[in-house]
Structure 1
């Protein structure tokens, strides 16, 4: 038995057995598991499993943080143990949708978590294209075997974005308890066909509302399918339920969701630009300084549709570089702990987590260092706030998503100011944590902290 298989077996046992697991999803650093009965899970025992850096419980979902690399391997092993594929719809229709339904941000995050690898891939591809052209290593006229290099990179990095609405609608329907394909149908309706001709013929704007509209359409059709399914006799369910869902829900998507989604998308764009433009440094401080708690709870991916909407409307997202300062503030805080503590084990944890923290993956530092010690977590938030203030004043925008930390320099329009924001966050996080200090007696808890137990 491999290390990952051993960890997965222990994980399933402490979660109440394979019968208690409804659905699983995995992102860069954590495995998210929906449970039938949360009371059967032993959250304290989970944190003692090898490789576990933290445990978060929100609603009926348990998030087990492993860090980059190990999370994906354990997820695959857990799928083998339980028979529940990572990202698979729950075997009991609608059951996962009823678990923790009040946590809207968590549900939105669940829609986008399975898409993260693709978003990262296209973000890095766009970054490569951007860097090569800015360095004058390639131009639109550069060809290889007669094919435009820029054109090929645009194909590799841009094709996915055209399908993103469909995938969002699909995942939203599943999250709200219906068949994923019905959400894909709802999102496709908003696109109006291959070139939008179907909506254009109705004097409507194809794709209006962007990912916000796709999210609403998918969630609504998933919810509606589940409601209709409950009242239709089983003998005709397979035919009548999808037909009525499309007939009733499709009309609502066209005449209600499409305009409402458009208004919401426009409102989000205007609100974000107004907030950053008018609030300036103060807005940047508050946004960056309060983002780490969202990362801690695993609901930060709920901001993905907002970033994508801003990119679609403005050509960049001014919000992403501000929020990226949260990770930088934490790096500064962790460095302060490293310098101040004399605990050899804690220093090893910090050294291991710092590289990925600098790259923008903050969970190892959150659960291994700052949050267990508490005051360094506050210091990290303060450091993030100062960096966010710099970014907001400089109006730095990110041209795409997928990366954070130092890697985001490849995607921002003002590299110098973004780097200045990172440095400010590092320094402010270090100073704030140094001044706040931390309780040395809690150092041993930094390797076994669980949030939510």
Structure 2
């Protein structure tokens, strides 16, 4: 696996324009998020052809490579291969490209929150399970077990300004330890105690100026604003102070100026902005909660595709800091399980082995809040499942909104969020409403996808020999297998994908049968029986290569029903193979159908109009 990740890392670096084109690199739950110096040097189309890359998204000023749940391992491999470290220039380097306001905002938010998103989700899940244990009487809030686990789950939220100070400092290109100390000052026990003891919010003065005391524990916006100012000030101080003393004078000036200014002005203004945002959202939410739920539940996955969902993360956390609860994250639960249901519908419907394996793993990942594999790998390519998932999310979101459901600890929207929607007063209508909304989204998208989400196909694992009654002209090559067709350049083998062997297309077989695609003869049959060469009566040479690297099986699981020199007619059985056994040994059954003498003709094009083809259907058309 280590070698595989390093090979993938080298391919990724090559197609993002090389190490020298990388300004910074972070990762979230499933994506590598590159900030490139020159987007024109990146080749997204080439990168998408790598079978280990789910999707490439260019959004929010970032070049995002979706690789799935093993993203951290891939990120480590990319950093190792490319020599990328935390000490690299990163965002400190100026880029020639100019980003829009929205793109810059999305880039800022993702850069600040992604480094600790997994820990943030883990703490939220733990808090949810603690609430569940109290509601069912498993633990008592006065017991030592509950207190220790609560401290573990609440420490990140309580000291959130310190963590945000560090990540914001790195994002803004300053010394992250300076900004971390600023965050520590905001939640220092002395300041928290002064807040709790002050009856009039003006009991503390700095140089005679009254300080507005605010509880900054769990706050988000004030420390980010303070970190930006500190990083701005740090650059000016570094330019002003001599090199011999700036290592301690710059931090001294930044702390001595920024911390008092934060307590006097930045903090109160930022807190007021946060309260204004939270109050404004609550006003819209209370006006028509079902409508807000329907819109957010239906459009959330669209926002995820373009990376715009990061713009809502600070608002959710701000709601938590101001009110102690947030409705947005509860509404997102149906949006997630809408796509999970759609992926499950594909899994139950399809009989194509590769798609079934992909949709099955995507369903499991989606249950735990990771929807990119389901969206990019399963639902979005077939469109209708994605639409059904969004519609299910909208209906479920409207139900959750109508129920006024809230979450009481932050985390990723996943199966664990069910524990996070339990209010301090115990299980009530808001909890049942959220569960009903999630169930509706899941069931609706699954049922609709199963019955109407995939193109109608005719798959018969025990099919009888294919009969072709239609008149086939000499320039048509019929499909030799039933399955999902692919363009040749998407075959996960460079020799075939490059066209070096000739023009053609590929089929991922849904059954273990290869039949004759025209009238002619068997020109060659490999001793391992995994590949066969055919010559039509009109001179077309076709190579059918069952699977990638299946020559290594030495003929195991393959049976030939013809021999070299035999005459063939369309639909005649040529080869059978054990699909399940071959897949179980880790081989890819993607089958290239190559016209080996394509250079003798003017062109070749695919004739099937849907992704799925049946053996005997018109597949390739030769231009003479």
TM-score range, shorter chain: 0.7 to 0.9
- Per the alignment, residue 81 of structure 1 pairs with 81
Change in 2 beyond 3 A, CA 1:17/1:163: same
- Per the alignment, residue 201 of structure 1 pairs with 204
- Per the alignment, residue 503 of structure 2 pairs with none
Which of 326, 349, 363 aligns to 1:354? It is: 363
- Per the alignment, residue 37 of structure 2 pairs with 36
The answer to whether the Cα contact below 8 Å between 1:343 and 1:443 also exists between their aligned partners in 2 is no
What is the correspondence of 1:116-127 to structure 2 with a 5 Å cutoff? 116-127=117-128
The answer to whether the Cα contact below 8 Å between 1:109 and 1:299 also exists between their aligned partners in 2 is no
Residues 406-442 of structure 1: per-residue CA shift (max 9 Å, x gap): 2211111243222211111123434665798567899
CA distance in 2 between partners of 1:396 and 1:19 (Å):
48
The answer to whether the Cα contact below 8 Å between 1:269 and 1:313 also exists between their aligned partners in 2 is yes
TM-score (norm 1): 0.86
Give the paired residue count: 439
- Per the alignment, residue 407 of structure 1 pairs with 416
Which of 167, 170, 174 aligns to 2:170? It is: 174
Answering whether residue 434 of structure 2 is matched by residue 418 of structure 1, we say yes
TM-score (norm 2): 0.64
- Per the alignment, residue 145 of structure 1 pairs with none
* Offset at residue 165 of structure 1 (A): 0.9
Change in 2 beyond 3 A, CA 1:217/1:374: farther
Answering whether residue 310 of structure 2 is matched by residue 314 of structure 1, we say no
Residues 364-391 of structure 1: per-residue CA shift (max 9 Å, x gap): 0111122233343333222111111011
The answer to whether the Cα contact below 8 Å between 1:190 and 1:213 also exists between their aligned partners in 2 is no
RMSD: 3.1
133-142 vs 354-363, greater mean Cα deviation = 133-142
Secondary structure of the residue that 1:322 maps to in structure 2?
helix
CA distance in 2 between partners of 1:253 and 1:376 (Å):
49
The answer to whether the Cα contact below 8 Å between 1:327 and 1:357 also exists between their aligned partners in 2 is yes
198-207 vs 17-26, greater mean Cα deviation = 198-207
- Per the alignment, residue 26 of structure 1 pairs with 27
* Offset at residue 393 of structure 1 (A): 0.7
CA distance in 2 between partners of 1:160 and 1:437 (Å):
42
Change in 2 beyond 3 A, CA 1:156/1:244: closer
Which has the bigger relative contact order, CA under 8 A and spacing at least 6?
1
CA distance in 2 between partners of 1:442 and 1:168 (Å):
47
Unaligned runs of 5+ in 1: 143-147, 449-453
Larger Rg: 2
302-311 vs 151-160, greater mean Cα deviation = 302-311
Which of 72, 80, 93 aligns to 1:95? It is: 93
- Per the alignment, residue 105 of structure 1 pairs with 106
Residues 183-241 of structure 1: per-residue CA shift (max 9 Å, x gap): 22333344466543678623422434921111222223224433554566656654554
CA distance in 1 between partners of 2:309 and 2:79 (Å):
25
Q: Which has the higher strand share?
A: 2
Change in 2 beyond 3 A, CA 1:443/1:242: farther
Change in 2 beyond 3 A, CA 1:418/1:80: same
* Offset at residue 111 of structure 1 (A): 0.5
CA distance in 1 between partners of 2:21 and 2:168 (Å):
23
Residues 254-301 of structure 1: per-residue CA shift (max 9 Å, x gap): 333212111112112212322221112111111111211222233434
CA distance in 1 between partners of 2:87 and 2:485 (Å):
40
Answering whether residue 285 of structure 2 is matched by residue 289 of structure 1, we say no
Secondary structure of the residue that 2:57 maps to in structure 1?
strand
329-338 vs 376-385, greater mean Cα deviation = 329-338
The answer to whether the Cα contact below 8 Å between 1:96 and 1:177 also exists between their aligned partners in 2 is no
The answer to whether the Cα contact below 8 Å between 2:332 and 2:413 also exists between their aligned partners in 1 is no
Change in 2 beyond 3 A, CA 1:302/1:171: farther
Change in 2 beyond 3 A, CA 1:255/1:436: farther
CA distance in 1 between partners of 2:193 and 2:8 (Å):
52
Q: Which has the higher helix share?
A: 1
CA distance in 2 between partners of 1:330 and 1:239 (Å):
53
Change in 2 beyond 3 A, CA 1:198/1:332: same
233-242 vs 292-301, greater mean Cα deviation = 233-242
CA distance in 2 between partners of 1:231 and 1:274 (Å):
48
Secondary structure of the residue that 1:406 maps to in structure 2?
coil
